A and B are shown apart, each in its own frame.
Chain A
Amino acid sequence: MRPRAPAHPWLMLAPTLLAFGLFVFLPLALTARASLQSWDMLTEPEWVGAANYGALMEGGELWRVLGRTLGFSVIVVVGAMSFGLGLAVLVDRPGRVFAFVRGSVFSAYVVSWVAVALLWVWLLDPDAGAVAAIFRAVGLPRVGFLTDPRAALVTVACVAVWKITGYAMIVFLAGLRAIPASLREAAALDGASGWQTFRHVVWPMLRPTAAFVATTSLITSFQAFDVVRIMTQGGPARATTLFVYAIYEQIFLNLSVGKASALAVVFFVVLSLLAALQLRAWRSRGGEPA
């Protein structure tokens, strides 16, 4: 349609574009600039060129953070998707019981990360926690879930899986319900087993949904911060220092705005790559995301 006046579209877009300009594009540019400075917020900033990036690369810290974050994301995405899909198939049935199960699993999605993290620190306490009590009761060894450098990252990832599986489940449910019942019935009439129907009829139609869940939960997990800050503060021995926590740590704990900004720039580049993957996934559904 033609706008009534040429200025109308821009007037309507103005508040949105202004907000994005102020809170997205300008900060992005400022962050890129700050990444080339050494600044502690209190004394004068100094230009240092690429020294911040150099310092991050030295000793491989940047790669370790990146690898850790990717590892964390893989566990979260794979875990949330498998459980989410399994549960979606399981609870896609009529009845109050299944409605209750759906509600229970999904409820973790609305509870804040703070509450979830605090709750699990308590549950996982190696001595006083309920999980430890269950482990003792069934004769499993004592595990320092959050205290053993080898276990902590997996533990935090499992908590994140617990938190977002409900999200994956309801998106898969929506996908399942969009599949015409007639297709499944036709497969059943042809004598296909439940598994065959799922494999050859349901799954192909769910693939775009799966791609959507995968990319959104990948990006969510990449931005994980609250769980780390509350459960482990990045420890033990930096085992859970994920990307966003590393940015936070540089600026607010180590006084280094420059290094924090350099990390943020790298984080942005990595996220853009992930988002490109997301766009490809959307395209493969033959449509725009909606």
Chain B
Amino acid sequence: MIGSRAKARVAMALGLVAAAVWVLPYAWMTLTSLKPLSEITQDPTAPLPRAPTLDAYREVFGTIPVFRYLGVTLLMALSIGVLQIVLALPAGYALAKLRFVGRKTAFGLVVACLLVPPQVTFVSVFFMFSRVGLVNTFAALVVPFAASAFGTFLVRQALVAVPDELIEAARLDGASEPVIVYRILAPLLTPTLVGMFLVSFVFHYSDYFWPLVMTTDDTVRTLPLGVALLKEPGSGVRWHVVMAGNVILSAPVLALFAVAQRHLVRGLAGRA
């Protein structure tokens, strides 16, 4: 076969071009963050910083409380991910394994929720929270996402494949329903649950919309909001500072990505 090696080479070259399209912007972001302001204003497109400095990072840390915002963001994403699993397991179990009147309706309601994104409901949710004094609280960031239609759905689908006998046997052994759900079935679903958690975590860590509309000041401000605020009005955008903020914002998820890419892929592609 002629050219199978040439073909491989072309594929490799194309692949590297693609990688460059995605990696070079990050590289540019990092390089910019290492430049002093004078280089940004005088020669913004010089490829390398002449006098690399961490000033921009110092300025980010001086302007916004990075660790507090990061802490709120991580805790929020973590709480949402855990709550979604805790709630989805029993609900998915009931929908997958138990026969009862109204099951179809209940399942229909869950599926219907897939259709209603936060962008439709946020106006009313905001006023509901404001009536009970919960706007601008951690609860307002987490509780609305405690139940995930997608998560419930995935757990149900995964449980359908689990044989009934397993549950029968556990019941005969005297296991209560919560024990069956959380101690016996949950471990079987680990791959599904890990994937689900990661997808949820990455989404909520990065979410801008909901924290933007639900917070009014910096009590529970999340990192994406803080970084977006680095673009100040007035004296010219200080791009080295904004890019430093970007690096700080992206580093945790990229690190997570490096460690758990496989599970994340399964969480996303598993839905297909």
Contacts of A261 in B (CB 8 A): 123-124
Question: Can you list, as one digit per residue, whether each of A9-26 has a CB less than 8 Å from chain B (1) or not (0)?
Answer: 111110111011011101
- A–B pairs, 16, beta carbons within 8 Å: A4-B177, A9-B100, A12-B90, A12-B98, A13-B90, A13-B95, A17-B106, A28-B116, A90-B18, A107-B22, A115-B29, A119-B246, A244-B119, A264-B121, A264-B123, A271-B117
Query: Is A98 close to B, CB under 8 A?
Result: yes
Q: Which of B23, B119, B228 has the most CB of A within 10 A?
A: B119
Closest 4 CB pairs of A and B: A112-B206, A128-B44, A19-B147, A174-B269
B 94-109 to A, binary, CB cutoff 8 A, 1 in contact else 0 = 1101111011001001
B213 to chain A, nearest CB (A): 7
Which of B40, B152, B168, B224 meets A112, CB within 8 Å? B224
**B205/A112 in contact, CB under 8 A:** yes
> B106–A114 contact, CB under 8 A?
no
Which residues on B sit within 8 Å (CB–CB) of A264?
119-121, 123
Query: What per-residue 1/0 map shows which CB atoms of A230-265 lie under 8 Å from chain B?
Result: 100000000000001001100110000100110011
Judged by a CB distance under 8 angstroms, whether A48 is at the interface is no
Check A115–B227 contact: CB distance below 8 A.
yes
B249 within 8 A of A: yes
**CB atoms of B91 and A15 under 8 A apart:** yes
Interface hit among A59-67, A139-147, A165-173, A179-187: A165-173
Whether B25 pairs with A247 at a CB distance below 8 angstroms is no
A209 CB to nearest chain B CB (Å): 6
Task: Tell me if B91 and A122 are in contact (CB < 8 A).
Answer: no
Q: A23 touching B120 by the CB < 8 A rule?
A: no
Which of B23, B143, B269, B272 has the largest count of A CB atoms less than 10 A from its CB? B272
C-beta contact mask, A203-234 vs B, less than 8 Å → 1, else 0?
A: 00000010011001001000101100110000
Q: In chain A, residues 56-97, which have Cβ atoms closer than 8 Å to a Cβ of chain B?
A: 87, 90-91, 93, 97
- Known contacts A105-B18, A120-B25, then 11 further A-B pairs from the complex at CB < 8 Å, ordered by chain A residue: A13-B90, A15-B146, A16-B90, A24-B113, A26-B128, A105-B19, A111-B250, A213-B272, A268-B115, A268-B120, A290-B154
Please determine whether B249 and A12 come into contact, CB atoms closer than 8 angstroms. no
Write out the residue numbers on chain A whose beta carbons fall within 8 Å of the beta carbon of B152. Answer: 16
How many angstroms from the CA of A229 to the CA of B231 in the assembled complex? 12
Q: Which of A97, A111, A223 contacts B16 (CB 8 A)?
A: A97
A23 in contact with B110 (CB, 8 Å)? no
User: In the complex, A120 Cα to B21 Cα: how many Å?
Assistant: 12
Residue ID in chain B nearest A83 by CB atoms:
B18
Residues A111 and B254 in contact, CB atoms below 8 Å apart:
yes
Q: Which chain A residues numbered 99 to 115 have a C-beta less than 8 Å away from chain B? A: 100-101, 103-115
* A55 CB-CB contact with B under 8 Å: no
Given A97-B15, A171-B272, A212-B272, are A110 and B90 also a contact pair (CB < 8 Å)? no
Cβ of A272 within 8 Å of any chain B Cβ, yes or no, is: yes
CB distance from B117 to the nearest CB of A (A): 5
Residues in A with CB closer than 8 Å to B22 are 104-105, 107-108, 162, 166
Interface flag for B157 (CB, 8 Å): yes
Contact A30 B124 (CB under 8 A): yes
Q: Are B18 and A2 in contact (CB under 8 A)?
A: no
In the complex, what residue of chain B is closest to A274 when comparing beta carbons?
B115
Best-buried of A6, A123, A127, A166 by chain B (most CB within 10 Å): A123
Which residues of B, 229-245, contact A by the 8 Å Cβ criterion? 231, 239, 242-243, 245
Interface residues on B, range: 35 or more
Q: Which of A20, A167, A230, A289 contacts B147 (CB 8 A)?
A: A20
Q: Does A191 contact B (CB under 8 A)?
A: no
Contacts of A3 in B (CB 8 A): 94, 98-100
Alpha-carbon distance A203/B253, docked complex (angstroms): 33
Given contacts A110-B264, A264-B119, A272-B115, contact A115 B90 (CB under 8 A): no
**Min C-beta distance of B270 to chain A, whole Å:** 8
Query: B220 near A: Cβ within 8 Å?
Result: no
B141 at interface (Cβ–Cβ under 8 A)?
no
Partner of B206, one of A9, A114, A171: A114
Contacting residues, chain B, for A248 (C-beta < 8 A): 213
Closest to B201 in A: A110
Contact B93 A12 (CB under 8 A): yes
- B272 with A174: CB separation less than 8 A: yes
Contact B271–A290 (Cβ < 8 Å): yes
The docked-state distance in angstroms from the alpha carbon of A47 to that of B204 is: 36
Residues of B within 8 Å of A101, CB to CB, are 15-16, 18-19
Please, how many angstroms separate the alpha-carbon atoms of A90 and B228 in the complex? 35
For A50, the chain B residues whose CB sits under 8 A away are: none
Measured between beta carbons, the chain B residues less than 8 angstroms from A24 are 113, 116, 121
* Option from B147, B212, B213, B246 in Cβ contact (under 8 Å) with A15: B147
Q: How many angstroms from the CA of A239 to the CA of B40 in the assembled complex?
A: 29
Enumerate chain A residues within 8 angstroms of B257, measured Cβ to Cβ: 103, 106-107, 110
Q: What B residues does A149 contact at CB under 8 A?
A: none
